[in-house]
Amino acid sequence: MTTTSPALSTALDVEKIRKEFPILHQTVNGRDLVYFDNAATSQKPLVVINALTEYYKGYNANIHRGIHTLAEKATKAFEQTRLTAKDYINAKSEQEIIFTRGVTESINLVASSYGRTFIKEGDEIIVSELEHHSNIVPWQFVVEEKNATLKVIPVTDRGELDLDAYRKLLSPKTKIVSVNHASNSLGTVNPIKEIIRLAHEVGAVVFIDGAQAGAHLDIDVQDLDCDFYTVSAHKMYGPTGAGFLYGKKELLEKMPPYQGGGEMIKEVTFKKTTYNDLPHKFEAGTPNIADVVAFRYAMNFITETGRAAMAAHEHNLLEYATERVSRLKGVSLVGTAPEKVSVLSFTVDGIHPFDIGQMLDARGIAVRTGHHCTQPLMDRYGIEGTVRASFAVYNTKKEIDQLVEGLERVINFMK
């Protein structure tokens, strides 16, 4: 984010953008809603909401095997999202885009299919201290089953990955490295290109969890040369329950299916079943058609608004919030890496994050509190949790002023 010019944010008409998001225009506990929980899920523009409604009103049908007009229309719309996703992350082929329920399912798919097939006893899988539980637990399943080992890249006090320690962890035993592009708890943007390059030197494959990057950062999987990459639609102004997994074709080809069912087969007999081609081999059963269809509109919304302009605006918000919140009495920022997405995590001396979250909610401000599904990271900092404010394109400096005012109220009360 810091690579973009803050001047770009002036190109965004935020008030106009806010009009696209009906949910923002409501009061919560008697005050205008301030939604700062975007790292958990972002709100949806009308264009996405309308796409869902239009799908169900106009062309809901099961896809790929229907001969009738509606099935054809639904299939086209569904596959159009695959093409959009391919372009969004610059994949070589739409066959490398597998639709999933989102990041968690994508990681489970790769851990189960690739991990269980290619990990052997004594192998090592590397994750980092910054990971969300969803990028830890599926790999734990694999190492436990295969008698392999999970290694962890430590994080510095500022919230950056310790690359020297990472280099020392790498060895010919390393078979998979799985890290996030950006941290959900601290906002740190990780140097994934370097992480991937180093992993490839020892012959490991690299999985990138892009949950916090999809809506904020440029993603070019060919330039990164990552082996797997995943995003969730709901963190990218899209619907819940949809996302995609990118995988290099040669890897996906040699992986066994994740689930059995319809769509993923070529031919079924009781003697032998042959599997469908990519990407369908990994898409058993009726997918989440409506949400996948609407996901295209979310990606288009980001592209049309302009990723660089959005990033610049969010960066301005982050800088402003960082400066204002850090000056408050008793506040300690958690995660001060120079490269961050728009996530501000902090603690306040003597006040539990839950209480702060509840107090802010009483003023209509939605933040996230707790360990953010990153308990090992919280343990690393010796804290129970943080208060996390995360910003999106529709947020404003005025809303940050309201957050600061709310925090001042709580801090003064609890003194």
Partner 1 sequence: MDVNDIQEEIISEFSLLDSDMEMTVFYIMELGQKLPVMNDALKTEENVVKGCQSKVWLTANLDDDKINFSADSNTAITKGLVSLLIRIFNGQSPEAILNANLYFMQKIGMERFIGTQRSNGFAAMIKQMKLYALAFKTKLEVKS
Enzyme catalytic residues = 373
The tokens describing 45, both together, are 């523009």
As measured in angstroms, the least distance from the Cβ of 31 to partner 1 is: 9
Nearer CB in complex with partner 1: 218/355: 355
As measured in angstroms, the least distance from the Cβ of 291 to partner 1 is: 25
The tokens describing 159, both together, are 């919230």
As measured in angstroms, the least distance from the Cβ of 184 to partner 1 is: 20
Q: Where are any strands of DSSP class E within 13-52?
A: 27-28, 31-32, 34-35
Nearer CB in complex with partner 1: 138/353: 353
Nearer CB in complex with partner 1: 218/384: 384
Q: Which helix (H) or strand (E) element contains residue 345?
A: strand 343-348
Kindly report the CA angle at 308 between 304 and 314, in degrees rounded to 5? 105
Q: How far apart are CA 249 and CA 230, in angstroms?
A: 15
Nearer CB in complex with partner 1: 324/352: 352
Instruction: Please report, as ranges, the residues that interact with partner 1 according to CB under 8 A.
Output: 29-30, 351-352, 354-355, 358-359, 361-363, 384, 409, 413-414
Q: How far apart are CA 371 and CA 132, in angstroms?
A: 10
Give me the sign of the Cα torsion angle 76, 81, 82, 87: positive
- In degrees and rounded to multiples of 5, residue 218 shows phi and psi of -70, 135
Helix (H, G, I), strand (E, B) or coil at 369: strand
As measured in angstroms, the least distance from the Cβ of 399 to partner 1 is: 17
As measured in angstroms, the least distance from the Cβ of 328 to partner 1 is: 18
Q: How far is CA 137 from CA 107, 131, 133, 361, in A?
A: 10, 10, 6, 31
As measured in angstroms, the least distance from the Cβ of 407 to partner 1 is: 13
Cα 242–chain centre separation: 12
Helix (H, G, I), strand (E, B) or coil at 296: helix
The tokens describing 283, both together, are 């898409």
As measured in angstroms, the least distance from the Cβ of 95 to partner 1 is: 42
Q: How far is CA 81 from CA 46, 181, 182, 269, in A?
A: 18, 22, 24, 32
Nearer CB in complex with partner 1: 30/338: 30
CB 315 within 8 A of CB 357: no
Q: How far apart are CA 214 and CA 137, in angstroms?
A: 22
Torsion, Cα 309 315 316 317, to 10 degrees, reads 110
Q: Which amino acid is at 9?
A: S
CB 171 within 8 A of CB 124: yes
As measured in angstroms, the least distance from the Cβ of 403 to partner 1 is: 14
Nearer CB in complex with partner 1: 28/328: 28
Neighbours of 322 (CB within 10 A): 17
Torsion, Cα 230 192 5 89, to 10 degrees, reads -30
3-state helix, strand, coil in the chain (%, to 5): 45, 20, 35
